[in-house]
Amino acid sequence: MLAKVMVVEDERIVAFNLRQRLSQLGYEVPGIAASCEEALRMAEQTHPDLVLMDIRIEGDVDGIETATRLNSVYPVPVVYLTAYSEDSTLERARATRPYGYLLKPFSEREMHATIQMALERRKVEGALEESEERLRLALEAAEMGIMDADAETRLVELAGKSAQIFGLDPSRAHASCAALLICVDKADREHVRAEIEGSLRRLSQYQVEFRRTGADGRPRWLKAQGRNYASAHGKHTRMIGVVQDITERRLAEERISKLNEELERRVSARTAELQATVADLDAFSYSVAHDLRSPVRAIINFSKTLLDVCSGFLDEESTRYLDRMHAAGKRMADMIDALLKLSHITRVELQVRPVDLSALAAEVAEQLRETEPHRVVEFAIAPGAIANADEELMRLVLDNLISNAWKFTSKHARAKIEVGVAQNGGGTTYFVRDDGAGFDMTYAHKLFGAFQRLHQSTEFQGTGIGLATVQRIIQRHGGKIWAEAAVEQGATFYFTLPRQKTEDRGQKTEDRQ
């Protein structure tokens, strides 16, 4: 787009010549005015980028006064044209802050250079004004003020909300360093003075938080920060910085601190309760191990003795009663052992290291084959399944899952049990799959509960503790376990473990795979 240059010149021949020369140089001339009134009206209508203003124009108002009036209604860069160079005239012209002078006669080259410099200066000034406006809006939004201190006079120029933040008259534009220091609370005054003086000596940045007493008598917290500037010779000249009222932030920090203290108190109290609960569980475990096992063991042993010694003297119904008593005692003993094992798992310290799950699965499979060598079961165990975990606890996990698969495929003539690894979403999932009895997914929420069974004990024996134990172990490792199944179509148990070596995670259940 061509720059628009308006001409204010009362000599028609000179004005026409200027129009031609400007057009040849690539400028648009929207109009020529000969008087002040005509210039003001034309500027409002055409919006020029620059005005070439002759000092001597038609009418009682000269070019200098016209420029003054023009800037009040339509600010635009003005370059004066004159054949006069009197000091008084130039002084009046200088007061209007013109963008240049062209002394008649002048060449096209001089005119073009002066116009280009004026337009560039206006462009720079416009960018600066826009930047200053953005800064002003930012300071207002942030409730901040600017301080610009002279190193020699210690006089501080206050901008933005500086005066208001210090509790001074908001219209105040200047204050001495001493006057600002008096605004600081006595308890903080010496500290602030030392920080500022130290910054002055070192020509370094400073940052200090302090209080002042507000109009309501309550302390207000302020934060001042900035830096020092030196001349090219290393002499300190200015200290520029910002000040901000941070009372709300400090009050929020105090509230957070109090909340943290209360939280710590509650955590301590809760920890004490948990420790007491653990102590009660330990006492219960001890009682189960010693006080309950003895009578149960007696029931088992005496019922067995009666069956062995008195079998010839008992009728069929009495023998059946003793058999049921003996079997019930054994089931009770197994349940007590399972409960003790579950309790032990929650307290044992994890020994985490790389574990070969494939090798553990193979060991469990071999043991199961030895217990029932007549069964036809195919094992498919994926090689190289390595995880960071506690080896003994993972042995227990695989023993439970694979033993369950073995048990729930026992009514099939042929069966297949698969132990594998799947990669999904950047994580690793391990699984144990069988093609046995399966279960109804409607009751899957009961699957990992202690003593929860989805099959009758007459179909498949068990204590109902195995899967609860498996879930507790996986959760302690920071993993997750779930299952998918269908009746008579088998079941698949999936679990994840963390990739990195980790410490005991208690009951944390976040899935990290």
Where along the chain do its domains lie? 5-138, 142-245, 256-344, 349-496
Homologous superfamily assigned to 5-138 = Response regulator (3.40.50.2300)
- 486: amino acid identity, one letter: A
Tell me which DSSP letter residue 56 carries. S
Say whether pTM exceeds 0.85.
no
pLDDT over threshold 50, residue 4: yes
Angle 508-388-475 from CA coordinates, rounded to 5°: 20
Q: What CATH code would you report for 142-245?
A: 3.30.450.20
Bridge partner list, 241: 147, 226
Q: What is the pLDDT of residue 52?
A: 95
Chain centre distance of CA 389: 31
pLDDT interval class at 464 (50, 70, 90): low
Nearest to 177 by CA among 213, 145, 153, 200: 153
- One-letter amino acid for residue 416 of the chain: K
Residue 3 has pLDDT above 70, yes or no: yes
CA atoms of 440 and 86, how far apart (whole Å): 107
Q: What is the mean pLDDT of residues 452-467?
A: 65
Q: What is the pLDDT confidence band of residue 505, given thresholds at 50, 70 and 90? A: very low
Take residue 116 and report the two structure tokens written for it.
Answer: 């280009």
For residue 502, pLDDT over 50 is answered with: no
Structure confidence at residue 117 (pLDDT) = 93
Choice between 142 and 194, residue whose per-residue pLDDT is larger: 194
pLDDT of 98:
92
Task: Give residue-wise pLDDT tens across range 25-40.
Answer: 999 999 999 999 999 9
Is it the case that residue 290 has pLDDT exceeding 70? no
Rounded Cα gap, residues 420 and 365, in angstroms:
14
**First and final C-alpha spacing in the chain:** 61
Q: What is the DSSP letter of 221?
A: E
Name the token pair of 401: 């899952």
* CATH superfamily entry for domain 349-496: Histidine kinase-like ATPase, C-terminal domain (3.30.565.10)
Least confident of 346-350, 362-366, 451-455, 478-482: 451-455
Check pLDDT > 60 for residue 506.
no
Q: How confident is the model at residue 503 (pLDDT cuts 50, 70, 90)?
A: very low
